[in-house]
Amino acid sequence: MRRRDLLLSGAASLLPLPALAATALPQPEPFTLDQWPPLTDRAAYIAWMLAHRADDANFAAERFDRYKVLLDFNDLWTKQDKRAFLFTPREAFVRPEDIPNAYVGHYLDIGFGVTLTPPGTMGRMSSAIEVKPTDRVLEVGTGSGYQSAFLSYLTPNVYTIEIIPGLAHRTRGIYDKLIAAGYVEYKSINTRAADGYYGWEEAGPFDKIIVTCGIDHIPPPLLQQLTPNGIMVIPIGPPGAQHILKVTKKTAADGTVTVARSDIFGGKVIPFVPLTGAHQAGVP
């Protein structure tokens, strides 16, 4: 059995960690910022991933094919964003029945009434916040865990909040099993089961914030926890009809705060599940 086969079965069934750790199978080389898989040649990329990341050839091929689609639609903007996509095993974050569909270009149900966002949308949202290796990044809406896994290849300072306790627990278990299987970069992902509307004040401030749930306004606590020149991407609008905005916070010398907004999809409606929590009941 290949290491990836065991990894996927572990993610699906959430077996105890020792069951993975005790199995002597090939493991990926620890990720470092100087690791670069081939970005243009499909065959070379697949060979590199098998040699350095103990990857599965079929998944590597599917990942590269979807990557090429993302490039065609300008969803990955820098070499670092491209590498993050090519390193992240999306198949490990879907439900068992959707493993064959991990790289399709549409939403996937992950249970708990929420979905996994298409690769292109996630890629462009991540690209839009312009993550640097020293940045602290907050994700609101952990969901499947894929987005934070992607971000961990851009910075070792990732914080993610999920309001649904069962989903938060399941995803934390997936991270832990991936870490035991050799994906040590996911140790940098800090998880919390809480109401993301209010951010994670004690872990802030954050240079970048990515919100993966829809809401009709920018949550003031998130804006407050953003650094003076920080960037947030957030789906804004009525349920099912949001526009994904890039929000740039600027703080003048006198303390005056201004916020610039732009639509990263040029006005296209992108539906998201709602950002739920106490704010819906008017709780401050």
Look at residue 108 and tell me whether its pLDDT is greater than 80: yes
| Backbone angles phi and psi of 44, in degrees to 5 | -65, -40
Determine if the pTM surpasses 0.85. yes
pLDDT over 80 (residue 283): no
Local confidence band at 12 (pLDDT 50, 70, 90 cut-offs): very low
Are 116 and 110 within 8 A, CB to CB? yes
Distances (CA, A) of 247 to 134, 211, 250, 267: 20, 11, 10, 15
Per residue in 149-161, pLDDT (tens digit) is 999 999 999 999 9
Give residue 269's pLDDT band: very low, low, confident or very high (50, 70, 90): very high
The residue ranges of every structural domain in the chain are 3-281
Residue-wise over 156-175: b if at least 16 C-beta within 10 A, else e?
A: bbbbbbbbbeebbebbbbbb
% of residues, the chain, pLDDT over 70: 88
Kindly compute the dihedral angle of the four CA atoms of residues 200, 204, 209, 210, in this order, to the nearest 10 degrees.
Answer: -30
Average pLDDT, the chain: 90
Superfamily the domain 3-281 falls into: Vaccinia Virus protein VP39 (3.40.50.150)
Instruction: Tell me the C-alpha distance between 190 and 266, whole Å.
Output: 32
3-state secondary structure at position 64: helix
